[in-house]
Structure formats: structure tokens, C-alpha cells
Chain A
Amino acid sequence: MTVAKFLAAASRSLTIAFPAVVATCGLAAGVAGAEEWGTIKGRFLYGGEAPTAAELKADKDVEVCGKHKLVNEELSVGADKGVANVVVFVRDKGVKVHPDAAAEAKAAKVVLDNKDCRFSPHVVVVHTGQPLIIKNSDTVGHNSNVNTIKNPPSNSLIPAGGESSIPFANEEAIPAAITCNIHPWMKAWVVVRPNPYAAVSAADGSFEIKNVPAGEVELQLWHEKAGYIGEISVGGKSEKIAKGRRKVKVEAAGTNLGDMVLAPGLFQK
């Protein structure tokens, strides 16, 4: 096929595809039209014996970093089996945003700190247009190599006591790793979403997303070690969720997804 023919064919299929797009948008708008909002809650639990995180050896800036007990944070399971750092976000494109949620997100200052030779927190969420402040509370210098795909990647020096502001104009399809080249064991993740409906599970595995439009939304679940989570178990019943996508119904009174158990096999990469 010649290029001209190919692209002519391509434009034809575009005109066919277009009404379908309009139809989907209409559907989404209809859901949000009710102007009711709800909170999504849930908790992630580890479906096996809680693994102990391996200790990391600080072989750089030993006099400073060697003082801290550093552990591998790829998979962090609490005493009550809560899985921390699971990312949950609303995937629906053009989802209606509650004014409070928008205002709250706008006012929030998202900070990633280089502290005790590790990144704190391990996973940060920003939405497009919201800068990420990377600071350094340590007495040694760091750098923060931000490996974004849809946004210009950056790698700034963050001297002791210094900070740097990283803008994000575009959403990222997968969370992007932030690393320090001076201390290669340091790793954090930034999730860049086009709306404020995203959360990271806390140390006890729980998360909460407030002010989501009532009706059906599609959540997407991601974890550093598991990638997009392909299977969860709720009330002893296993549920396959392709690409970590799970449709849930948001009630104005609140939706509690309960305990979602993640099988150890998911993290075995």
C-alpha cells in the first residue's frame, strides 16, 4: 500500500470512528449530570505471610547514609498485612471533577523529600499542571532523575537543603521512576494524572478518594512490583481484572470496596 493510500484509508476510518467517540462522551456526561458525589474507600491486604523487606547496603556517602537502616521498599507489607504504595486512580477520560476536589488539589503542595538517603514518600501523585517539589533534607547532595515519557525528563542537582520544582504538563500512562544517580538504591515513583482522583495506599493498605462523581467509574490499580494488578480477591472470591482496570459503582453515601487481597504471586517478578 502506498503512503497516500494508507493515509486516505486512515482518514476514512477516522470519520467512522468519530461518532462512536461522541457517543461515549455523552454517556460519561450523563453519569455526572446527577451532581452527586461519593467517596471510594478500600484496603489492600497481602495474601500470604508478610515478607520482610531486605536491608540495603549504603555503599555511597557511608558516613551519612550508613547511619540509617535502609530497606528495599519495592514491596512494603505492614504487620497487619496491609500493602502500602498501591496506586489507585479513576481512569475515565474527561471525568467530571468536583469543585472542592479541584480546589484542594490546586492548593496542595506535593513534596518529595530526599531524607535519610531515601525518598519520602515512596510514591507521589500529582495532577497535570501541579508541580512536584523535590527537596533535600539531608546533609549530602542528591540528584533526582525523573524518567517521564510524556513529559520532558529531567535530572536536577538537589544540594543539601535545596529544592527543585518539576512541572508536569501531560498525563503519564504508567508511573514514572525517580532515581538518584549518586545513591543508586534510591527510588521513588511519580503518578501523573489529568484529574485529582488518585490515591496511594497507606502503611495499613487503606486508601480513600473523595468527591468522585456518583455512578460507574473505572479504577485502575498499580503497584511497583506487580505492575498493573491483574487479579484481586474480595471476600474469598478471586476476580481477574485485566490491566488492573476495575469498574465500580460510586454511591453518594460512599462506596467501600472492602478488603482486596493481593496474591503473593503478583509481586514475584
Chain B
Amino acid sequence: MNRFSRIAFLLAAGCLLSAGCGKTPNASYRLNMVEATKQRLTTEQEQQVATVLLAMFGTPDDPVALPEFGLDEAKLRLASGPVRSDIVGRKNGLYREHCAHCHGVTGDGMGPTAAFLNPYPRDYRPGVFKFKSTERADKPTHADLLRILRNGIAGTSMPSFALLSEPQIDALAEYVKYLSIRGETELSLMRAFFELDDDAQGKLPETREFLVDETAGPIAEKWKSAAAAQIPVPDMPADIDLVASIAKGRELFYGDKANCVKCHGVTGLGDGQANDYDDWNKAIVEINKEIQGGLAKAGETSTSGMSSEDAAEHRKQVAWLGKFSHVVDGDALTPRTIPPRNLRLGVYRGGRRPLDLYYRIHAGINGAPMPAAKGTVPPEDIWHIVNYIRSLPYEFDGELGADRPMVARDRF
């Protein structure tokens, strides 16, 4: 080997070792280890979930979607994989370019920047979304996702992607659905082990009936039927007297029925008595409580008086607690409480249209403590509350009229 070729060889070897030379390493989906550990899955069971998910959903570089999922694979291809140009010069890999650093390659809301943001980025895997035009338990429509992508979420780190083209935004919305169906299927599979009969020997049935018809299919179906689950909204009466409506809304806001004041406070600043967690954070709070309680108890327990069988059981439990604690440290963000919204800033996360506020009050906010007024507060009263809330940021004192126009200059 002459000197030149030796250098070339060393360079090539160096490239291979560092996996560099312009080639990004293959991205892979992370298994939901918090749920796997919670369900006490064995390594074989974790492996089975990973294998089944790979067969049904492919990889981050090569996503697949079964026809039952109702997803457009062409859109998924545009959004997935490393950032690159395709044969016609169109940019591919949009999710990793724009979303993955916060929402994570897996859509677990655990991208590298997630820990620095408040609120944390959404974890798509439980399939729960807040800002939508559908009932609380339903999925958002495709149009709802497009709206969030275009407008961003005011008051959070979610920016507007209005600079992307329509097909690009459309592809990203499709990919979010894909990641969510995948994540929710994963959760469902992990929970299914517990339900197995003894003769299944701890293995999920790898049948189309179980995997597609019973597990992933119904999850995808909820996405498909979202458009039909839109909340019916009666028009705000065209001849509504705004002053009277705001006054009624105020009564409702402070009243026993709608009870908005309880959490949003007498000031409307969001300083009521609520200090609860949202569902994503609460799940981790409860896990931490279980781990800490278990470890504290284990510290007080002596195995000396136990039978060898019980002592082995005890050691197994302590080992599991240790593992769980380690998994939660690495795979979950530190839980935070969710403050009720300050209604005097004029910043509305789910959109500032009166219609958006109507949806929030009617259906509540899925995953958050905000309950649904549906069934308790009639539609026309919801409109009054909307009008009152919309008056709050402007220090409105209820005396609007021809002789007292609301001139911005006069307000201070």
C-alpha cells in the first residue's frame, strides 16, 4: 500500500467510525419505556411491541401506513426522513427540520429542547389534543391541525409555520396524525399484556384481527371520524345587545353554574384556587408518588424474617422500583402544574376568534383541568360568557354607549 492510498484508507475508516461524511445516522423510534416499565413488561415483551410497531408503522426514515389508517403515504414521505431534496428538487424531511427538536423524532414531546420550554411540547402518543373544534374526547380535525400549524399557539413556544407552503403544512399535519396513531397503538399494545389469559404465555397474538381490527384500527377510526364530530355552534344572535350580553356573561362567570371564577379568579388573572396538573404531567406525578412511597417502605423493610420466596419477591420489587425511577429520570420531564389562563392579556392559546372561545367553554380542554360547560350551560349563555371574556382585556366597565365611545386613548 503506497502512502497516498494509506491516507485515503485511514480517512475512509475515520468516516465510518464517526458515521460522518454527510450521512446522517438512521433515526429510530424510542419505545415508550415509562409505560413499558409501569406495565412491568419483560424484555421479550418490549421486543414484541417494537417488532409489531415496526411491521405496522415502519421507521422514521421509511414510514408505512396500513390502508386501514386512512393516511396518505405520499404526504408521510414528504414529512419524514432526514432533511433532503427529492428527485424533483422538493424538500423532504420537514418534520425533522421543523418539529423534531421539540416534539421528538417519536412525537413523544421529548426533543432535545423540550426541557427548556414552558409549557412543554405536546406528547402526541396518548392521542390527546387540546385546541380543536370537536368534542372533548374526540380527535381534532385535519383542519384543526392545519390551523395550529399556520397560526402557532400564542403564549407558548409553538411558532407559526405560515411561511411553509400549503402542501408542506398539510404533510406535517398528516405526519402528526401518523405519529399519534402509532403512539396510541403502542400504549394500547403495552396495556394489552395484562389482559392476556394464562395460556397466551405472555405473548400478544400476532393476528390481523388483534393488531389491526381491535387495536390500531379503532384508534385510526377516531381520526377518520373527527370531521363528523365537530361541535354544533349556533350563531351568535345577529341583533345581540353587546352591553347586555357582557353583563349576562359576567353574572355567569361569577355564578355557581359556570363557576369560571373558581379557577380564573375574581380578578380574571388566572389566580383562582386551582393548582392542578394536566393529564400528561399528572401521570408522572402519580408514578413518582408510587416509586417514592415504595422505596421509602423498602428502606424500612428487613428481609431477615422473610421466607426465601418472600425475600426474593421483595428484592424483585425493589429492583423494579429502582429501574422505574431510572426510566422516569431519563424518559419524562419534571412535572409542572398548569395555571388557569390569565384572561386579561388577550392571549388565547387555542385561537382568539369568538368561535374558538366557544369551543373551549363548551367542550372544556382535553388533557387539562378545564371542564366542559356542555350540558350545564346552554349555548346562548356560552356566547354571553364569550363576550364577557373578550371584554376583559380592555378594562370595560359596562358603560359603553353613544355618549361614551370606547376610545383607546381614554382608557388610561
Contact = CB atoms under 8 A, between A and B. Distances in A.
Contacts of A61: 273
Contact of B374 (A14, A156, A162): A156
A3 B371 contact: no
Interface in B150-194: 191, 194
Interface residues of A, number: 40
A3 B375 contact: no
A159 B254 CA distance: 12
Contact of A182 (B191, B262, B297): B262
A11 B375 CA distance: 45
A154 B208 contact: no
B207 A10 contact: yes
Contacts of A14: 205, 207-209
A10 B206 contact: yes
A181 B290 contact: no
Contact of A181 (B58, B276, B373): B276
A11 B208 contact: yes
Interface in A139-195: 141, 143-145, 147, 149, 152-160, 162, 164, 173-174, 181-182, 184
A128 B222 CA distance: 20
Contacts of A1: 55
A217 B294 CA distance: 33
A157 B373 contact: yes
B351 interface: no
B interface secondary structure, majority? loop
B208 A164 contact: no
A160 B275 CA distance: 21
B55 A145 contact: no
Contacts of A164: 375-376
B208 A155 contact: no
Contact of B206 (A3, A9, A147, A242): A9
B263 A268 contact: no
A184 B276 contact: yes
B410 interface: no
A7 B67 CA distance: 12
Contacts of B290: 269
A155 B364 contact: yes
B399 interface: no
Interface of A: 1, 3, 6-7, 9-11, 13-14, 17, 59-61, 141, 143-145, 147, 149, 152-160, 162, 164, 173-174, 181-182, 184, 242-243, 265, 268-269
23 contacts: A7-B208, A10-B207, A14-B205, A141-B259, A153-B137, A153-B366, A155-B136, A155-B369, A155-B372, A156-B375, A156-B376, A158-B376, A159-B376, A162-B376, A173-B194, A174-B194, A181-B263, A181-B276, A181-B371, A184-B275, A184-B276, A269-B293, A269-B294
